[in-house]
Structure 1
Amino acid sequence: MRERPVGEVPDPFGARGLRERVLRAWAESPARFREDANTEEDHALGGYRDRVVVELAQNAADAAARASVPGRLRLTLRGGVLEAANAGAPLDAAGVEALSTLRASAKRGEAGAVGRFGVGFAAVVAVTDNPLITSAGGGVEWSAERARELVAGVPSLAAELGRRSGHVPLLRLPFALTGSPQIPEGFDTVVRLLLRAEAVDGVRRQLEQVGPALMLALPALERVEVDADGDVRTVTAEHGPRGTVTIDGAVWHTAEAHGAVSPELLADRPTEERARGVWQVRWALPEGGLPQGTPAVVHAPTPSDERLDLPALLIASFPLAPDRRHVAPGGLTDFLVDRAAETYERLMEGRAATPRLLELVPTPIGAGELDGRIRRAVLGRLPDAPLLPHRARGRDMVAVDAPSPFVELLSEDGVLAGLLPPEWPARSPALAALGVRRVELADVVDELAAVEREPAWWRRVYEALAGAATDALGALPVPLATAKGDAAAGRTVRGPRGLLIADGVDPAGLGALGLRFVHPEAVHPLLPRLGAVEAGPRAVLADPAVRAAVEDSLDAEDPDAVAEAVLGLVGAARLDPGEEPWLSALALPAEDGEHDPAGELLLPESPLRALMAGDAPFGVVDGATLERWGTETLVAVGVLDGFALAREEDVNLPGLADEAETLHLDDEDRWAEDVLARIGPQDLPPVVPEFQAVRDLELVEDWPAALRLLARPPWRAAIVEPAHAMSYDGRRVSVPSYTAWWLSRHPVLDGRRPGRYRLPGDDDALAGLYDAAPEGLDERLLLALGVRTSLLDLLDEPGGAQELLDRLSDPERHVGRAQLGGLWTALADAPEVTVEPPGRVRAVVGDEVVVADALDTFVLDRPDVLPLLTGSPLVIAAHGRDARLADLLDLPPASAEVAGDVGSAGEERDVPPEVLAVLPDAPPVYVAHERLVVDGVDVPWWTADGGVHASGLAGLARALAWTSGAWEDRLLAEAVLRDPAALPVLLAEAELEP
């Protein structure tokens, strides 16, 4: 369609007059031409780039609003041509003038109009050089080519046109269309744009974005049809009650606010914008979240470049900067930010009070400055907004971070005011933004201490908390069972730790013990996890309160009640005697009507009654008590049927030795000192990990009967089993038990100490020195008591050597000569023995054994002096022990008591070679005497002067054997001397000796 020659083309919109005025203005002021060209280019390439479809839709919405008809728009892209057909008020002369006049909107004064600036149509310049509009009253077009021809015909503009490379302000020069208007049925106006080739793809993308955001920003539009090269779709908007809008079947919820703008807020805005004087805010929220591809920007009312990352669309009449892309700062913007926050709050109030509401709570960090301001304004209002269940305000509500069943229980019973239902996530930052106070589970548990409920209710609490972390439940209240005589029973205490859960016991009968039992109706598996003890009779007995009650039972207001409770537990637990030694402090009624500790009472038939001295501090248990509880139970708490046993762990030996600690045993400090002496010095105190001992031994009067009793279990083990002391380095040392040690030091065996006896047997070294032990006790028990077993064991025991000397000096004892030599030899061979030198010594005189005065006794050190000491008492041991014995006994050697003067002459002779074969270390020569005289006495041999003197073969053999250190071969040497030819036979016989 082209304009016909002047006078031939209808011009209903006055296009020609507009052109002429513009050309005349340009001709008169080329700067005006330049200014219009630059302005149009700025709008087309700046604020309104990529907005052609939106601006066409906006004009369609305004046209529908002016005509008060449902807004309809059809957008068709075919063959590089975009057509926009809309229903509503047709184009008129004022509209053409507005489209051709920059910044002079024809919609001034239309309160409902979307277009405000008169420049939106400039968006078409970015995509076409030839926009056309056909309406009911005619048509108008703009042509870059025709405009360029007209401008070129103005001489004053030629130079500027050349400098702009032919670019002219397209929309300033309208042309009337030729031909009949072609408008689709049902529409009133068509805009036709012949697109530049490079603009087609961009327009197609804009068409693809036509959707809910456009319909919500332009509420006058009810239907938009999009046909992009045959791909047809329709977007419809149906406005329902309470602000709902259904777009293509999806329901959007809206909240709107509008009103007049006070003049002071418009003081910094352009004149025509001040004339409008109204504001509007609209939020739109879809069910199910914003559709994919929805522009995340503020719509003012068409899309801006201001990012908005909230889950709802915001359409608001924010003032825009000259670039038409960003919101302008100022008082009006501040005002609208607050209105947007108020309206967003109302949008949230319209939603159901479910946890999904939290999705609408903004975070503090925005996608841009405006987004951040809106978020902060919204967040500032939310704590006072009635958004939560029952339209409660967030600041009035509490969210408990606890398992859902627990929160449900608290909600049902109204225990915690303002409690949110459990489906609301307590840790959600959105709840905090709403002002909801989050309460940790531990804090709720603390608050429960003030709650009074029946025990069954508390069990429901425990069940509801079964899956919670136990570290928050330490102070969980627990109702106590009711027990007679217990002041604490029936109340609620904080924390299950240490409480007892009855298992086979009746709390009602244990009130006198001060125990704290969980009420049976409140018992739940959670409580043991939190430290409560599932308590059968043994576990109850282990409770510190029971021990305290036992220890204080003598001074208790009702000792019989304490005894009744404890004895019941002991009987049910079936304790062994001595298993819990502290029970011996339990006060029980005695025959004399008083109450005494169980450990100081005897059973009526106890054998101890006959064993103990008359002043022994023992009473007899009351007969009625015995009849009620029986022997086993009373013995288990310490009533004595036999001896009491002391059992302890980790006994500190140094502490016992210096009496810093005590086990209340007779001479326990001396036993500890003895054990420490056996162990030797230690860097750290040694201990006895497991200690047991028989008590009250010092009170026994009838020892034969006592020993028969001690020989039976359980007392026997305390005697025959040694104690084991543990040193700091982990070394275990076996030492005599206390009981064995004590018995060994007292006259318990036929009126004498057990060490005065020996075990009968094959070892006769101690025969005569010790009597055989009395019959009636087994060997192991006798050994434990200290009855002597062997000479070596005696010498190995501390003080054993001294005891041996004492016994040897006793003339009442009988010792044979061979036995005596063995005793002296063993004493000399014993290592590290020290003794007190005796005043009397058992010695040999001739062939008799006598007890002689030590001053008259010698230790035989050389056999050749025997003929010189006839009648002198001699201590004789095996060869080589003389010096050791002389030192131990402080006795002189026999050789020191003789002068040793040889008074006879002899002849030197060679030692026969046969003898040297037997005694290879013998000297080669000797001095033969017809009659050898020493100190005036005839002797068979002598070697004291360093030579070998002998008279006769027997003396020579002994002299050579002694000198060569082979005293044991003296008889063999004598036989060789007497019959040298028998040497081979004698050597063979000697080789047979072991």
Structure 2
Amino acid sequence: MLTPVADPFDTAGLRRRVLAAWTDSPARFREDANAEEDLVRGGYRDRLLVELAQNAADAASRAGVPGRLRLELVDVGSGAEVLHAANTGAPLDAAGVTGLATLRASAKRDEVQSVGRFGVGFAAVLAVSDEPAVHSTAGGVRFSAAHTRAEVADVPALAAELARRDGAVPVLRLPWPADGPPPAGYATEVVLPLRAGSRAAVRAALEQLEAELLLALPGLAEVEVVVDGTARLLTCASEPPLARVRDGERTTTWRLATRSGELPAGLLADRPVEERARRGWTVTWAVPIDDDARPVPPAGRQVLHAPTPSDEPLSLPVRLIAPFPLGPDRRHVAPGPVTDALVAVAADTYADLVRELAGDPAVLALVPRIGLAAAELDAALGSAVLDRLRAAAWLPAADPEEDGTRQPPTRAAVLDDDREEPVAVLAGVLPGLLPAGWSRRDGAPALAALGVRRLGPAQVVEAVSGISRPPQWWARLYAALDGADREELGALPVPLADGRTASGPAGVLLPADDLPVARLGPLHLRVAEPAAVAPPAARRLLERLGARPATAAVVLADPAVQAAVEESVDAVEEGWDDGDPAALAEAVLALVAAAGTVPGELPWLAELALPDADGAWAPAGELLLPGAPLAAVIEDGALGTLDPDFAAEHDPAALRAAGVLADFALVRAEDPDDLDVDAAGEWADAVADRLPPGAPPPSWPPVTAVRDLELVADWGRALPLLAALPEEAWADVVLDGVPVPGYLRWWLSTHPVLDGRRPDRLCAPGSRELQGLYEPATGPEGVLERLRLPATVDDVLADVDTAIDLLGRLGDPARTVPAPVLRSVYARLALALDGVDVEPPPRVRVAPDRVADPAREAVVVLDAPWLQPLADALLVPAGGAPGPVADLLDLPLASERVPAVVTSTPVRRQPWAAVPGADLAAARLGVPELTGEVAVHEPLLAGEVAVHEPLLAGGRAVPWWPGEAVDCVDGSPAALGRALAWRAGAWSLRQALAEAFAEPARSADLAAEDAVE
């Protein structure tokens, strides 16, 4: 029995009418039972709290008060739990009760702002409870499966159907009055005794209830959730376009974009009557933002809120709240014209949201990704949103002059480089350029979907070609592009110092600090504007692209500079039509000064056209500095003089480096053939003659010479100037390991520079070997030291020319020769002149103070010393080389003039080993024992042999005579010593051997002396 309670809503009348309808038509009972069963089977357990919150929001909206909802799970003992849902707002009324008890109907038909979905919300309670009740300040109502089952069982017409359904009845069709007011401060409370098996799910739903639910329920300001006595407060404070949602201590700010309107009636023709009466709509997009107003897409899967969560998946990382029509399952959107219209509205609203967000690349996360749609509605939304975003002006501009303005993606571009500096430099050059952060790779897919152009280095180069910007701007650009792909930067413009622009860095000169850029215009070089290449990063980039670092020395060595210099004189003579020769001279001299060029380092500088004292133009190398010491020693007028005013305006060191002469100038070359000096070829031939006979052509090292020696008129004053030249000018040249005289010493030695005489025809003061043959040189000591005058015969013989001169001097009767020199001088000359075609001298020296004329006197070269007593001719000292000496002098050998043989008979023959003193002689020869025989004649006679005639009797006495088997001697120790020395091939030991034979009794003493070192 039910306890009687007040029945303000006439629930009894409602029950009677329903039961009557079921009795009259059991099919109606079956229909209601099936409908409710469908709702229960729809799985509304997970939507229960949402539906309760939705009803609370509607009640608050109807009453025009802030909505509050309190959800509390109460343990009532014995494992039973009751869910209480108390809310503020309009209390339950009769129409509401009717709506609750009438399936598929609602009391909210005329409430445009209501978010409830026509009675479905309350039906969700059946997912967890069989005994739901609603307590209100105006009265209460409850529903009961058990009581409904009892009522139906008393109706015979329904008994069979009830049995067929195993007692299952439509719970929400029969209401009963309920007693008990809602909690203080609330207008209504829903009480749900939980069915066994649903308690854990309800507890979990309460714990996981999101505060963001309030975004879809604008009439609900807060939800309090109480579980096990612990309360959690969820609130939403709306300050359009922001909403601050709080869950306990955590607050999240959401950015909202909302549009409202009314659907055309024609679009709703096929929708239920309740929807046709409610054509108003509000679409809201919401996205969390951080403290900098940047969007922070919510984590996890997004679904459509229609307005409460549906099962319609969305790939957009933004919450959508919109009244899309749902299908019969109340979970998915029903396709049709209403959905299409709301898709269009939602896309427009989405563009509003994105447009109003901060201009930060984080917004790119909100751009739909093509091909990632989760369902049909999601695909339609993504496509429509992307169309709107492509056309909307929402992207920021990097150009500071466009600060605050937005642009559509169709105008926008991003660099393929996310660094700040490249974007900052190019912001005013590339229209529509986005800030640097928008270039990051993680945003590339979104930008590509929007159609934003991505610009690489090649496109940047194309964009900057032809523009005019200050040098500092170009410096920033180069530094910003450092590290980019060199293949795409080949045409990168480079401003030049002369105002031109190079179409690419290749070959451009990057000026060093020492380069006088401002003065280089006349050279027409591609020198970069210094300010444009000042940063190290800028230089590094341009060098990678083919530009060359340019010090003054590098620029001076540029072939274009050399060509301009070498052509400058001809250009003046032909009528200068490209600027001013003075400007060219200024530019070159500035480079020379900056490079620290030394005189002679760049010989071609001597071709630079400079003004002379007569107002004409001449090569620098043919001009003298005013007052130059060289002017006093050369022939008058041989060289011009530099214009005094021009000379006063320029650094003398630079002028000299350019070839203008102050004193004698050095000339350098890699080979004598490249030396433009007097007799360079003759010097090369002369020094090559000093190499060993048969040697291959020499490999020349770099050589140094002195120019203008042939112009000297006053050698007395010129030689000190030459002596003061650097050591380089006087140094020997080493050819294949053989030192030979350098050009300067050779030239001076072969010209009459010492009081009209050639130095190589004089000897060094104090020379003893050459005394009598050469006159000693006189002059400043420093000059004589530099000339290295000959002091010995070897000095003379080192050069073919001086050796030939010595050969003639030996035959000069006015000269004398030191006896030690005469002994070997002809032999040494023969060796020095071997292979040289030399005319025999008309006279030859036969004694230190005597010469002979072979044409008038008998002169021979003694080649067989035993013939000397028979020669009857003047003897030329052979110095151990009679054959070469005879060939050199074209003289006969003594053996050719004296064909004699021994004519006497020996008195005895004996072995050399038997001669007294033989042991000591053998020891002095270094042999163990003497071999052979010796014949003693008393006297030894030798005579000439007539051709085809028998030997004539008689002959002349000679001391010794060699033989093949037997040597002949007159018996004297001297003869013995000479004969044995000749036989042993030890001619220089003849005196030592003679001593051994002269004093055989002293052999032991003499041997002891030999042992002393």
CA distance in structure 2 between the aligned counterparts of 1:827 and 1:478, rounded to whole angstroms:
72
Q: 1:914 aligns with which of 909, 913, 917?
A: 917
Q: CA deviation at 1:75?
A: 1.1
Alignment partner of 1:362 is 2:364? no
Aligned equivalent of 1:706:
718
1:545-694 map, 5 Å: 548=564, 552=568, 554=572, 555-556=575-576, 584-585=606-607, 587-602=609-624, 605-606=627-628, 608-609=630-631, 611-613=633-635, 617-622=638-643, 638-646=659-667, 648=668, 651-653=669-671, 657=673, 662-671=674-683, 688=701, 692-694=704-706
CA distance in structure 2 between the aligned counterparts of 1:956 and 1:734, rounded to whole angstroms:
47
CA distance in structure 1 between the aligned counterparts of 2:892 and 2:882, rounded to whole angstroms:
10
Q: CA deviation at 1:115?
A: 4.0
1:35-434 map, 5 Å: 39-40=38-39, 42-44=41-43, 48-65=44-61, 70-79=66-75, 80-88=81-89, 111-116=112-117, 119-121=120-122, 123-135=124-136, 136-143=138-145, 171-172=170-171, 176-177=175-176, 180-196=179-195, 198-240=197-239, 244-245=242-243, 247-248=245-246, 252-261=254-263, 279-288=281-290, 296-308=302-314, 310=316, 312-320=318-326, 324-327=330-333, 332-351=338-357, 354-355=359-360, 358=363, 361-362=366-367, 364=369, 368-369=374-375, 374-387=381-394, 388=396, 389=403, 391-394=405-408, 395=410
Q: Per the alignment, in what secondary structure is the counterpart of residue 39 of structure 1?
A: helix
Q: 1:944 aligns with which of 943, 963, 974?
A: 963
Per-residue Cα deviation, 1:395-423 (whole angstroms, up to 9, x for no partner): 55677889989988999xxx669778979
Q: What amino acid sits opposite 1:385 in the alignment? A: A
Preserved CA contact (<8 Å) 1:504 1:536: yes
Alpha carbons of 1:270 and 1:540: their partners in 2 closer, same or farther (altered >3 Å)? same
Deviates more, 1:937-946 or 1:467-476: 467-476
Alpha carbons of 1:33 and 1:697: their partners in 2 closer, same or farther (altered >3 Å)? same
Q: CA deviation at 1:12?
A: 3.8
CA distance in structure 1 between the aligned counterparts of 2:589 and 2:297, rounded to whole angstroms:
79
Q: Per the alignment, in what secondary structure is the counterpart of residue 995 of structure 2?
A: helix
Normalising to structure 1: TM-score of the pair? 0.76
Q: CA deviation at 1:700?
A: 2.8
CA distance in structure 1 between the aligned counterparts of 2:159 and 2:69, rounded to whole angstroms:
44
Per-residue Cα deviation, 1:829-884 (whole angstroms, up to 9, x for no partner): 77x95333653597786999645649976654443333343426455224xx5566
Q: Per the alignment, in what secondary structure is the counterpart of residue 255 of structure 1?
A: strand
Alignment partner of 1:932 is 2:953? no
CA distance in structure 2 between the aligned counterparts of 1:874 and 1:145, rounded to whole angstroms:
166
Normalising to structure 2: TM-score of the pair? 0.74
Q: CA deviation at 1:805?
A: 4.8
Alpha carbons of 1:768 and 1:625: their partners in 2 closer, same or farther (altered >3 Å)? same
Alignment partner of 1:988 is 2:996? no
Aligned equivalent of 2:780:
776
Q: What amino acid sits opposite 2:868 in the alignment? A: L
CA distance in structure 1 between the aligned counterparts of 2:837 and 2:697, rounded to whole angstroms:
33
Unpaired stretches in structure 1, ≥5 consecutive residues: 481-487, 726-730
CA distance in structure 2 between the aligned counterparts of 1:684 and 1:301, rounded to whole angstroms:
105
Deviates more, 1:920-929 or 1:677-686: 677-686
Preserved CA contact (<8 Å) 2:22 2:29: no
Aligned equivalent of 2:992:
972
Aligned equivalent of 2:951:
none
Alpha carbons of 1:198 and 1:967: their partners in 2 closer, same or farther (altered >3 Å)? farther
Aligned equivalent of 1:748:
753
Q: CA deviation at 1:73?
A: 2.3
Per-residue Cα deviation, 1:63-83 (whole angstroms, up to 9, x for no partner): 445566554322111213211
Aligned equivalent of 1:902:
902
Q: CA deviation at 1:478?
A: 7.0
Aligned equivalent of 1:823:
825
Q: Per the alignment, in what secondary structure is the counterpart of residue 285 of structure 2?
A: strand
Alignment partner of 1:720 is 2:730? yes
Per-residue Cα deviation, 1:446-504 (whole angstroms, up to 9, x for no partner): 87887889xxxx58858987974568999788797xxxxxxx68x99999975989999
Alpha carbons of 1:902 and 1:450: their partners in 2 closer, same or farther (altered >3 Å)? closer
CA distance in structure 1 between the aligned counterparts of 2:555 and 2:934, rounded to whole angstroms:
95
CA distance in structure 1 between the aligned counterparts of 2:65 and 2:874, rounded to whole angstroms:
160
Q: What amino acid sits opposite 2:745 in the alignment? A: A
Aligned equivalent of 2:835:
834
CA distance in structure 1 between the aligned counterparts of 2:66 and 2:847, rounded to whole angstroms:
157
Alpha carbons of 1:988 and 1:277: their partners in 2 closer, same or farther (altered >3 Å)? same
Q: Per the alignment, in what secondary structure is the counterpart of residue 226 of structure 2?
A: strand
Preserved CA contact (<8 Å) 1:225 1:233: yes
Q: What amino acid sits opposite 2:942 in the alignment? A: V
Preserved CA contact (<8 Å) 1:502 1:535: no
Aligned equivalent of 1:867:
869
Q: What amino acid sits opposite 1:926 in the alignment? A: V
Q: CA deviation at 1:696?
A: 1.8
Q: CA deviation at 1:981?
A: 1.7
Preserved CA contact (<8 Å) 2:297 2:318: no
CA distance in structure 1 between the aligned counterparts of 2:100 and 2:1004, rounded to whole angstroms:
158
Unpaired stretches in structure 2, ≥5 consecutive residues: 76-80, 397-402, 944-954
Alpha carbons of 1:475 and 1:103: their partners in 2 closer, same or farther (altered >3 Å)? same
CA distance in structure 2 between the aligned counterparts of 1:270 and 1:674, rounded to whole angstroms:
124
Per-residue Cα deviation, 1:6-27 (whole angstroms, up to 9, x for no partner): x9x9844734765786799889
Q: What amino acid sits opposite 2:284 in the alignment? A: R
Aligned equivalent of 1:697:
709
Per-residue Cα deviation, 1:275-306 (whole angstroms, up to 9, x for no partner): 76665421124553569778733312222344
Preserved CA contact (<8 Å) 2:981 2:989: yes
Per-residue Cα deviation, 1:100-126 (whole angstroms, up to 9, x for no partner): 777666656765443447555554444
Q: Per the alignment, in what secondary structure is the counterpart of residue 258 of structure 2?
A: strand
Preserved CA contact (<8 Å) 1:337 1:373: yes
Preserved CA contact (<8 Å) 1:147 1:173: no
Q: What amino acid sits opposite 2:618 in the alignment? A: D
Aligned equivalent of 1:485:
none
Q: CA deviation at 1:754?
A: 3.2
Preserved CA contact (<8 Å) 1:2 1:178: no
Q: CA deviation at 1:952?
A: 0.8
Preserved CA contact (<8 Å) 2:502 2:526: no
CA distance in structure 1 between the aligned counterparts of 2:871 and 2:333, rounded to whole angstroms:
141
Q: Per the alignment, in what secondary structure is the counterpart of residue 643 of structure 1?
A: coil
Aligned equivalent of 2:980:
960
CA distance in structure 2 between the aligned counterparts of 1:834 and 1:157, rounded to whole angstroms:
147
Q: CA deviation at 1:962?
A: 2.2
Q: CA deviation at 1:818?
A: 3.4
CA distance in structure 2 between the aligned counterparts of 1:87 and 1:333, rounded to whole angstroms:
33
Q: What amino acid sits opposite 1:665 in the alignment? A: V
Alpha carbons of 1:772 and 1:579: their partners in 2 closer, same or farther (altered >3 Å)? same
Q: What amino acid sits opposite 2:367 in the alignment? A: P
Q: CA deviation at 1:378?
A: 2.9
Per-residue Cα deviation, 1:623-655 (whole angstroms, up to 9, x for no partner): 666677797786665443333443x5xx342xx
CA distance in structure 2 between the aligned counterparts of 1:868 and 1:373, rounded to whole angstroms:
139
Q: Per the alignment, in what secondary structure is the counterpart of residue 748 of structure 1?
A: coil
CA distance in structure 1 between the aligned counterparts of 2:537 and 2:606, rounded to whole angstroms:
31
CA distance in structure 2 between the aligned counterparts of 1:315 and 1:70, rounded to whole angstroms:
20
Alpha carbons of 1:270 and 1:695: their partners in 2 closer, same or farther (altered >3 Å)? farther
Preserved CA contact (<8 Å) 2:811 2:844: no
